[in-house]
Structure 1
Amino acid sequence: MTTQIVLPVNPEQLRSSSSGSGEPAWLTDSRVDALKLAADLELPTLEKTKIERWDLNHFGSWTSSAPALKEQLPEQVASFVNLQENSNLLVQQNHAIVFAQLSADLVEKGVIFTDLQTAARDHEDLVKPYLHSIIKPEENRLSALHSALWNGGVFLYVPKNVEVDIPLQSIFLIDSTETVFAPHVLIVAGENSRVTYVDNYISGDYSESIVHNGAAEVIAKDGAKVQFATVHHLNATTTDYTIRRAMLGNDASIEWIVGEMNSGDSASETLTILKGNGSNSDAKVIAVGSGSQRLNYTTKAVHFGKSSESQMITRAVMREQASAIINGITKIEKGATKADGQQTEKVLMLSPKARGDANPILLIDEDDVTAGHAASVGQVNQEQIYYLMSRGISREQAERLIIYGFLAPVVSDIPLEQLQQQLQGLVERKLGQ
């Protein structure tokens, strides 16, 4: 069934606005072609989720105009970053980057950390070959709309053999529903490079509905090591649809650390394509659902390379009437000998009306491999509660300790202490503690 979506711009307006703002012709053409696709494509298919019933008609108006950079951080952002400790920061407010800072030593090493629209103009040779190379516009209606309407966004390039010791951070703030909010993150890590990237999606004070249609693409070349941490905590009137994907070369690795703390309906896919021999993917995801939220989170690894390894850990806590579909998919292609894929999905329900569904899937087309999965859905273990209470701990404190222990495998791996503390606070707030 095709669901009508009102496009926020027509092809002629999009072409005029894109070219008028100085975007290169190849990017303008790419946007217009994707918008035309969106009119005919279906919505994405989500396991056991009727996404056509979600609120997907409020995108805001599209504009390519960019406000001037600010000397000071927006007020809502200041508490999320310490500029004295981290001078490598980009801030997007609604449709455009408003704050940008990169340390001189990284500039000297050839690191590029800027908004994607600027990078498309100034670094075409680095952007054009990779933009939309892993997340194709023709996949579904939302991917096509994103390819047409993305704005602001981040481009991070780390040259060959460069190791970046300090995390680079982005903050995406939406405090108005008037314009499209669809940042695109593109990371290109050169051979034998190393980098940690952290981002944070936050909402301001608004009550109107809006869709965040975001994407992240990571290209890790041979020997590159990328750590990607992200926390989403958008408000109840924001529908969040996010796709994250990585392509790994020989002996390359990525570590995903994902905190899904939204208050509205939310769906995401975190996928690693292990193209190279000896490549490694480690994905850790936590989610907390409350109210009447509908959540659908998929973590996936596709093995092509020999001796490639993937690990997935997903933890979800559901309270009140929230429902979650948690999918783990390991696909080992023919020829990926000695590959090893392991996954674990666990859902903890704190209310009789909460719902959780863990779906581990192994798709194996090669004999000489190792693969395994584990999944569980259940209530808080009462024996553990009683044990802790017998040590003088109250029931509420006992439940809190069990929940924190349940989520600890992800929270403890956040690479930025300030973000780790913030995620801990978000967990407490969502659990009503």
Structure 2
Amino acid sequence: MSVETQLRFDREAISQFSKANQEPEWFLQKRLTALDSFAELALPKLEKTKIDNWNIDQFQPFQQEQELSTADQLDEVVKAEIDLTAAKSLLVQKNASIVYRSIPEELAKQGVIFADLATALREHGDLVQKYWMQAVAFDEHKLTALHAAVVNGGVFVYVPKNVELEAPLQAVFEVAGDASLLCPHVLIVAEANSKVAYVDTFVSAEGQSLVSNSIVEVFVGNGASVQVASVRSLSTEVHDYAFRRAIVERDGKMEWILGEINDGNTVANNTTILKGVASQTETKTVSVGTGAQRQNLTSQVQHIGTYTESNMVSKAVMTGEAVTILNGITKIEKGAEKSDGEQAENILMLSEKARGDANPILLIDEDDVKAGHAASVGRVSEESIYYLMSRGISRQEAERLIILGFLEPVVAEIPIEEVQNRLRQALERKLG
């Protein structure tokens, strides 16, 4: 079933944007093919969440912004989220434009590519083409097709064989202004025995009817190690759709660290495909739902190779009338012997009107494996609140401390201190 909508853009607008950015012809054709598919495809099927009435495509996709000469000129919402003195490698995108970049020369000397998508398409088009939409297919559903048609920025990371980067590569994505779109595509390629950490932050300024539709694709080579951390703090005016997927080869390791701290409606799907022997992945997700917010958050691992390992931990806190669906899916394919897949989803509710569903799913097609799951949905203990209040702490502060304590075991495991601090700040802001 498709949803009929009247778009605010057409093939000509897409072609003009593509030509203005000097994109190769193959990329424009992929855009136009995706636009044609968009009209025919259905929305993604989500567990217990209907998004038919959400803002999916009512936006102006190519709103341009002026490039800035110094970091001091960045919007306050951006400067509040990142330590500009510590960020050695940084790209900042606002709407459909890269407004700031700081890329040290030593990266290029190591053969590393860290570039915005438009630059990567111009200077490394063949390499981008090799991996573009190979992990996430453009025609999976209506939202992926729309993303492929109107993608308006993003980041390309390429780390050669045996190169290990100690400092994280960072990006900030900002959406602002009425009916604006933030549609970045992050493409990370880590060759054999390389190491890289990538961190991004999503923020929003003033504006109504905003949309964020992002895709992350990660390709982890033999023995490579990749960390991807993302903290999203978009406002109630933003409908946020995020699809992330990694393909991990032999002895590779993929780690996801996700802070879903939006105030608006959110759909996120995070999938890792353990393709190679002894490949492994960890996913840590923290989320907070407030007001009338709706969230559907899915973490999924597909075990294909033998001796593969996965561990997923998701923690959510619900207040007001918020609804959060936490889906954990571990799929062990036939032939993936000696695999081990573990997952846990925990939801803490602070309001009688809030609703949280934790859905652990194990799909096992092989006998010689280990797999397990745990799930819990509960309310804050009145005894714990009373104990803290008896020490002179207000009820509101007591609840806040209990929430932070509930989430801290996941936050504390984040291996990048700056991301820990950024996530704690986002949690403090949302919890008031």
The answer to whether the superposition gives a TM-score over 0.5 is yes
Q: Which residue of 2 aligns with 1:253?
A: 253
- CA shift, 1:430, in A, is 1.9
> For residue 219 of structure 1, what is the aligned residue in structure 2?
219
Q: How does 1:345-364 map to 2 (within 5 A)?
A: 345-364=345-364
Residues 158, 189 of structure 1: 8 Å contact kept: yes
Q: Does 1:205 align with 2:206?
A: yes
Map of 1:125 onto structure 2: 126
Which runs of 5 or more structure 1 residues have no equivalent in the other structure? none
Match of 1:145 in 2: 146
In the alignment, the residues of structure 2 paired with residue 180 and residue 426 of structure 1 have an alpha-carbon distance, to the nearest angstrom, of 22
What's 1:236 paired with?
Answer: 236
Aligned equivalents of 1:178, 1:260: Cα separation in 2: 22
- Identify if the C-alpha distance between structure 1 residues 188 and 69 changes in structure 2 by more than 3 Å, giving closer, same or farther: farther
CA separation in 2, counterparts of 1:83 and 1:288? 27
Query: Does the residue aligned with 1:128 lie in a helix, a strand or coil?
Result: helix
Letter in 2 for 1:331: K
Q: Is the 8 A contact 1:229 1:415 kept in 2?
A: no
Q: Deviations over 1:53-98 (max 9, x none)?
A: 22224222436x7754533351322233333322200000111111
TM-score by length of 2: 0.95
Structure 1 residue aligned with 2:316: 316
Equivalent position amino acid for 2:412 in 1:
S
Partner-residue secondary structure (3-state), 1:41: coil
Taking the aligned partners of 2:321 and 2:217, their CA distance within structure 1 comes to 33
For 1:310 and 1:303, locate their aligned partners in 2 and report how far apart those are by CA, in whole Å: 8
SS in 2 for 1:298: strand
- Give the direction of change, closer, same or farther, for the CA distance of 1:395–1:13 in structure 2 (3 Å limit): closer
C-alpha separation in 2, matches of 1:301 and 1:241: 19
Is 1:155 aligned with 2:150? no
Asked if the contact 2:290/2:319 (under 8 Å) is kept, the reply is yes
Alpha-carbon distance in 1 for matches of 2:415, 2:272: 20
* Structure 2 counterpart SS, 1:214: strand
Q: State percent identity of aligned pairs.
A: 49
Q: Partner residue of 1:176?
A: 177
Question: How many Å separate the matches in 2 of 1:139 and 1:341?
Answer: 25
C-alpha distance in 1 between matches for 2:121 and 2:157 = 12
Residue in 2 that maps onto 1:420: 420
One-letter code aligned to 2:33: D
Q: Secondary structure in 1 aligned to 2:80? A: helix
CA distance in 2, matches of 1:7, 1:363: 39
Amino acid at match of 2:227: Q
Deviation at 1:404, TM superposition (A): 1.2
Distance 2:241 2:69 in 1: 28
- The letter for the 1-side match of 2:147 is H
2:2–2:39 CA contact under 8 A, matched in 1: no
3-state DSSP of counterpart to 2:18: helix
Preserved CA contact (<8 Å) 2:163 2:195: yes
The 2-side partners of 1:184 and 1:209 are apart by 21
Q: CA deviation at 1:397?
A: 4.1
Report the CA distance shift for 1:291/1:165 in structure 2 as closer, same or farther (over 3 A).
same
Contact 1:326/1:357 (<8 A) preserved = yes
Q: CA deviation at 1:427?
A: 1.5
Aligned to 1:78: 79
AA in 2 matched with 1:70: S
SS of 2:144's equivalent in the other structure is helix
1:92 and 2:93 correspond? yes
SS at 1:405's partner residue? helix
Q: Find the counterpart in structure 1 of residue 385 from structure 2.
A: 385
Aligned twin of 2:263: 263
Q: 3-state SS of the aligned residue for 2:178?
A: coil
Aligned partners of 1:329, 1:277: CA distance in 2, in Å? 20
**1:104 counterpart residue number:** 105
Partner of 1:376: 376
CA distance in 2, matches of 1:270, 1:140: 15
3-state SS of the aligned residue for 2:212? strand
The CA distance in 2 between the partners of 1:70 and 1:153, in whole Å, is: 20
Partner Cα distance (2:231, 2:285) in 1: 10
Structure 1 position 386, deviation (Å): 4.3
1:80 is paired with a residue of what secondary structure? coil
The count of residues paired between Structure 1 and Structure 2 equals 430
Report SS of the residue matched to 1:129. helix
TM-score computed with the length of structure 1 as normaliser: 0.95
Distance in structure 2 (CA, Å) of the matches to 1:428 and 1:69: 30
Q: Which stretch shifts more, 231-240 or 97-106?
A: 97-106
User: Aligned letter for 1:32?
Assistant: L
Looking at structure 2, the residues matched to 398 and 203 of structure 1 have their Cα atoms a distance apart, in angstroms, of 30
Q: Residue type of the partner of 2:70?
A: E
Superposition RMSD on alpha carbons, in Å?
Answer: 1.8
Shift of 1:222: 0.6
